[in-house]
Amino acid sequence: MKHCVKKRQVPLGLKVYRTLSSLLYYASSPVIKGLSKVGDEEDLWRQRFFLNRSFGNEIYDCWLHAVSVGEVAVCEVLVDSLLRIRPDLKLLVSSTTPQGLIRLRTRLSEKCSLMVFPLDFPQVISRLLSQIKTTVYGGIETELWPNLILGLKEKGTNCILLNGRLSEKSFKAYKRLGGIFRPVLNSFSKICVINETYKDRFEKIGASHQSLIVTGNAKYEGLITKPDLNRKKIIKDRLGLGQKELVFCAGSIRGGEEEPIIDAGARAKKEHPHLVCFIVPRHLDRIPCVLKVLEKRGIGFDLWSQLELGKKRSHDWIVVDVIGPLYDLYGIADCAFVGGSLVPKGGQNLMEPASWGCPVIFGPSTSNFEEAASILQREGGGITVRDSNELFEVINRLLKDPVLRQNIGKKARESLLSISKGAASFQVEIILEELDKANKAK
């Protein structure tokens, strides 16, 4: 008598996703293949289709994926910790955005193999997995790509979600698409989440209770020792910033924030003639908009790119038109505004200025950094503003009172120390446990 083996049923939602992603591949493939015949070998889109790229059947201990600059910062901390404990590990790191890839090449190219993250088409993933094998895969924050994760799982890879977070908006979206993402979540052997709120959200969208671990936020642990006082002195000397100059830095500003921030800075400048203002857009394509606002208001400015080439600073407004300097500029600031928060973008990393002991100012939109915003407000290291008028009032109050600045800055730094709690070290332990477990099972 023949026994029938019952095949595990694929949820309808996942079937639809796979079919649509496969059809989309065929629709877009001719365009991308055309690109592969011209241009630079490093063309981003050709690499995302995994065309004209051979890894020669490489085998890695661990592949870490960081979608953009913020996640790359987490990746740097994890890589450094992993290699400090086990220097012989063979690591692969990927990113999606141009900014993330630039930072990867700058910070990690000598420590790891680097790769552009592939598009989640079945055909692309099949090409990728025929050339790359990894014992452990770690996606950072909310990287839930069904074809990739399920493909890795089928190949015997131990998948981990690191520094997991799920905003209220994302939670609602994933909950509606449970048929697609529940099997993906159940393919992770461990899901390391930042806090209990995120743990609850992940469980409600289908993650198993056993796989969920609250580890804290690894993004912040690396900031504790990151400030470089020598680098700070070099920048101040190069820009001619002495004891009389005060500095305001507006970092990671997004579209719609240029006018309110510049207007608040201009008002503060009238009250404090020696104030120097740095405007740092999140994306370089916003530079023309920033310059237009300054020119419209008759404000003279220097471009950071020209100052880097040796041009002497001739204005008290500096527009940063390159990627990279923001963190060090927070270090020379007497107070800092973190953008993406006056407009509904969810904010940026509030703990970067806090790591320098700099008072942190931000708008009401901080869904991407809920825990950081909460502890900064609770401990008195951060101040929320709703508009340009409130931003001016806070800047003015801080610049007038050095003791107040120092106290708030100290509390900001203490908030960082409180929120970190060895999160990166904890997640590194989990990565190594999964690696050892997989190696023993071979």
Active site positions, annotated: 71
Distance of CA 11 to the CA centre of its chain: 32
The DSSP letter of residue 369 is G
Q: Under a CB-based contact definition with an 8 Å cutoff, are residues 263 and 256 in contact?
A: no
Kindly state the helix (H) or strand (E) to which residue 440 belongs, with its residue range.
helix 423-441
Provide φ and ψ at 180, rounded to 5°: -85, -45
Burial of 89-109, coded b for 16+ CB within 10 Å and e otherwise, reads bebbbbbbbebbbebbeebbe
Kindly state the helix (H) or strand (E) to which residue 116 belongs, with its residue range.
strand 113-116
Burial of 270-292, coded b for 16+ CB within 10 Å and e otherwise, reads eebeebbbbbbbbeeebbebbbe
Q: Which residues pair with 253 in a beta bridge?
A: 281
Question: CA-to-CA distance for 197 and 419, rounded, in angstroms?
Answer: 15
Residue ranges in 226-315 assigned as alpha helix (H) = 229-239, 258-271, 287-296, 304-308
- Please measure the distance between the N-terminal and C-terminal CA atoms of the chain and give it in whole angstroms: 35
Q: Identity (one letter) of the amino acid at 272?
A: H
Q: Under a CB-based contact definition with an 8 Å cutoff, are residues 334 and 399 in contact?
A: yes
Using left for φ > 0, alpha for ψ between -120 and 50, and beta otherwise, residue 371 falls in alpha
Using CB atoms within 10 A of its CB, is residue 56 exposed (0-12), middle (13-18) or buried (19+)? exposed
